[in-house]
Amino acid sequence: MRICPPEIAALVFDFDRTLAPLGNLVRWRVAHEEMRKHYAAAGIADEVLGAAPRGCFGLYRHVALAAGLDPAALARLQAEVSAILARFEEEGIAGVAPYADAEPLLRALPEMSLRAAIVSSNPEGVIRAVLARHGLEERFAAVVGRDGLAEIKPSPDGMLRCAAALALSPARCLGVGDNAGDVAASLAAGMPAIGVATGVSTRAQLLAAGARAVFSSLEELHAQLRSERLKTS
């Protein structure tokens, strides 16, 4: 199966563990404790907090779905909690570097008539700071973080916002991620999706979520894109 037919005009990447292992440098457990304290102080019931999936992003998304707040109150609370989590994510900016095979792939995309974008549950400012430190920010036509999103992945909200920023229909974008939630978000937005087995989910989990194909690295993905796109250009 071709993963990137001629109608595809952009690759929409996840960030953490797809392009760069930021999460390896974040104190997630401490961040989770601080997030939960803030939610509790804001009046979110113990039963809601106790039913949240594991992890910071699981907690963040569960509150959005289960807290029963009106949209304005929820947006304010999520912005406060996002800022708490961002302080921990910012600790990784100085120490993280994109995967070695990310830059060659990004540099080659225009040659294949493809643009690059990012949709991530990390905040936009942290993503852009990492990219800028490594001279990659200008490689991306759009960056969508969790900032201002009512729901993070696997909700399609970020993917749809990104497609709009690119002025493309979702069907003309190809989602690329390491997590089954990345694949689910792409498909829910109407984007085809592929996986890279560089992070959270296994190859089997990515395929079960609906990925067209799964690659062991960005280098392997790069080779496949060249074989497809340069033959048809």
Is 104 a member of any domain?
yes
Mean residue pLDDT of the chain comes to 96
pLDDT attached to residue 122? 98
Q: What is the mean pLDDT of residues 13-25?
A: 98
Q: What is the DSSP string of 111-138?
A: GGT-EEEEE-SS-HHHHHHHHHHTT-GG
pLDDT attached to residue 134? 98
- Listed in sequence order, the residues at least 6 apart from 231 whose beta carbon sits closer than 8 Å to its beta carbon are none
pLDDT in tens, 168-206: 999 999 999 999 999 999 999 999 999 999 998 999 999
pLDDT attached to residue 46? 96
181 with 116, same domain: the answer is yes
107 with 167, same domain: the answer is yes
Is 216 a member of any domain?
yes
pLDDT attached to residue 215? 98
142 with 200, same domain: the answer is yes
| 3-state DSSP assignment of residue 178 | coil
190 with 119, same domain: the answer is yes
Q: What is the mean pLDDT of residues 209-223?
A: 98
pLDDT in tens, 103-142: 999 999 999 999 999 999 999 999 999 999 999 999 999 9
76 with 101, same domain: the answer is no
What percentage of the chain carries pLDDT values higher than 70? 99
129 with 81, same domain: the answer is no
Is the pLDDT at 101 greater than 60, yes or no? yes
pLDDT attached to residue 232? 47
Is the pLDDT at 231 greater than 80, yes or no? no
Residue with tokens 């201002």: 148
17 with 33, same domain: the answer is no
Residue 230 dihedral angles phi and psi, to the nearest 5°: -80, -20
Q: Residues 227-230: contacts with CB within 8 Å, 24+ apart?
A: 228/2, 228/3, 228/4, 228/5, 229/4, 229/6, 229/112, 229/113, 229/114, 230/111, 230/112
| 3-state DSSP assignment of residue 93 | coil
Q: Which of 49, 72, 90 is the last residue of a domain?
A: 90
pLDDT attached to residue 1? 75
pLDDT in tens, 40-74: 999 999 999 999 999 999 999 999 999 999 999 99
142 with 168, same domain: the answer is yes
| Direct distance between the N- and C-terminal alpha carbons of the chain, in angstroms, rounded to an integer | 18
pTM: 0.96
Is the pLDDT at 233 greater than 90, yes or no? no
- Full residue range of the structural domain in which residue 63 is found: 27-90
14 with 82, same domain: the answer is no
Whichever domain contains 157, its CATH number is 3.40.50.1000
